[in-house]
Homo-oligomer: A and B are copies of this chain.
């Protein structure tokens, strides 16, 4: 009774570039009546393997019952097009993806089984290869957030994330690094610290992230001042010349899984400890860092709300970091209010420039934090003796050495830029006089995001007051910056219905 099993016919289709931006999700469009789909039994929204020579991706398949695509054509989204490195008219081969076995390990964690080292390696390998759909990544992130991973799992996760990407080896020590566990709008110390440390003669090849849920990440801010999409070789050239750089981590393929997780975490608006620890440290370790200072701001509306929580997270970070031989110092800092004046990429960039330029109106809190972190890093690496880091950092900043170094780094990264200025603004005024009691980091960040940050780099919030200030009625509290009327309106409406973002106590 066994029929001779026919060999499937050539599963090839002609690639057509649809100029379709689906963000990072690779999409392939085919006619429902195309012979390949019929013979393979692909149904719409299935995941299919698409191959071009030795390059292959897993893409989401959408099917069409219309003539804007020919039966022999495969329409590819931009993300699919670039990953396959294809040319118009090339053929792509379609097939069913292998079963996603590592997903059962994620499900197993839901039912309470711990992740083994091998499990996390398998999962991260599949994520890195693009085999996980967004739904699967969302499941993985939620699993990692719920109940948390134990230290062994976090170490294994960090290791798996490092292995799924490239690593850098600078052939020397120390390699200085810093990181701030986000949640504090405007706290853009990294470019300042890199400038100071590199000006002191240490190497600080910094890779930074884009925003996860905040209005700006360091990479977003830095991008308004200089190119940040440098590959490994370009980054190495900058560091060898200037001793420092501030580039986007994703472009150098250090822990590339991290960026894939971050993209989905952003939609979920979720930050989880295990992912946070592995995300921070995998990037640092893959980047070849030997000495790390961590800034953990604490405040009622910061990411970390309680000092005890910061202490625990700090211990976890330090412990995992030192497992990998990364010397680490943790600073718990004041996170009650935004730092500097700007919130949003370009507005934060302006603060940086004014601190480096020692302008009279430069934000003192941002300057202070940069000095504290630089001092710790100088002492941790042994570049300064205990107690002498502060003076060295201050001298480097005040002499203009840090400013010159920053400019040189920007030039080496591809040229110093002028941060853009938003086309539309709206000023939010105090509704009564009194003293500034509190500033809600989260809701102020939301205003900046509604105004378009970080997608629109010039958008965001410019603060005109800080904690403890005495305010008159109708005095400016902050300015909303936006590129479009629609976004300005959304931010404005949110600001109006949240009049207590800046909480002003009645005068006695």
Chain A residues near B (Cβ < 8 Å): 1-3, 5-8, 18-23, 25, 27, 29, 32, 38-41, 43-45, 62-66, 68, 77, 96, 103-104, 107, 110, 133-139, 141-143, 145-147, 264, 267-270, 272, 424-427, 452, 455-456, 479, 482-490, 492
Whether the Cβ atoms of A21 and B62 lie closer than 8 Å is yes
Whether the Cβ atoms of A1 and B487 lie closer than 8 Å is no
A146 and B143 alpha carbons, distance in the complex (Å) = 7
Whether the Cβ atoms of B455 and A41 lie closer than 8 Å is yes
Whether the Cβ atoms of A20 and B64 lie closer than 8 Å is yes
Question: Which residues of the other chain, B, contact A32 by a CB distance below 8 angstroms?
Answer: 21
Whether the Cβ atoms of B62 and A490 lie closer than 8 Å is no
Question: Which residues of the other chain, B, contact A64 by a CB distance below 8 angstroms?
Answer: 18-21
A-B contact pairs, 30 of them (CB 8 A): A2-B425, A2-B426, A5-B424, A5-B485, A5-B488, A7-B485, A8-B489, A18-B64, A18-B66, A20-B64, A21-B64, A39-B486, A40-B486, A41-B482, A41-B483, A43-B455, A96-B486, A103-B268, A103-B269, A107-B270, A110-B142, A110-B270, A134-B135, A135-B135, A135-B264, A136-B268, A139-B139, A142-B143, A142-B146, A146-B146
Within the oligomer, what is the number of copies of this chain? 2
A231 and B1 alpha carbons, distance in the complex (Å) = 43
Question: Which residues of the other chain, B, contact A426 by a CB distance below 8 angstroms?
Answer: 2-3, 5
Question: Which residues of the other chain, B, contact A486 by a CB distance below 8 angstroms?
Answer: 8, 39-41, 96
Q: Which of B19, B133, B268, B487 contacts A41 (CB 8 A)?
A: B487
Question: Which residues of the other chain, B, contact A7 by a CB distance below 8 angstroms?
Answer: 485
A68 and B141 alpha carbons, distance in the complex (Å) = 37
Which B residue sits closest to A271, measured CB to CB?
Answer: B107
Whether the Cβ atoms of B489 and A110 lie closer than 8 Å is no
Q: Which of B62, B68, B141, B146 contacts A147 (CB 8 A)?
A: B146
Question: Which residues of the other chain, B, contact A490 by a CB distance below 8 angstroms?
Answer: 96
Question: What 8 pairs across the A-B complex have the smallest Cβ distances?
Answer: A23-B45, A138-B138, A142-B142, A19-B66, A21-B44, A40-B486, A19-B65, A146-B146
User: How many Å from the CB of A490 to the closest CB on chain B?
Assistant: 6
Whether the Cβ atoms of A20 and B29 lie closer than 8 Å is yes
User: How many Å from the CB of A336 to the closest CB on chain B?
Assistant: 21
Question: Which residues of the other chain, B, contact A107 by a CB distance below 8 angstroms?
Answer: 268-270
A262 and B415 alpha carbons, distance in the complex (Å) = 52
Whether the Cβ atoms of A38 and B484 lie closer than 8 Å is yes
User: How many Å from the CB of A23 to the closest CB on chain B?
Assistant: 4
Whether the Cβ atoms of B68 and A45 lie closer than 8 Å is no
Q: Which of B40, B145, B270, B489 contacts A5 (CB 8 A)?
A: B489
A3 and B7 alpha carbons, distance in the complex (Å) = 69
Which B residue sits closest to A494, measured CB to CB?
Answer: B99
User: How many Å from the CB of A16 to the closest CB on chain B?
Assistant: 10
Given contacts A66-B18, A96-B486, A483-B41, contact A139 B5 (CB under 8 A): no
User: How many Å from the CB of A259 to the closest CB on chain B?
Assistant: 15
Given contacts A3-B424, A68-B18, A142-B110, contact A484 B135 (CB under 8 A): no
User: How many Å from the CB of A444 to the closest CB on chain B?
Assistant: 15
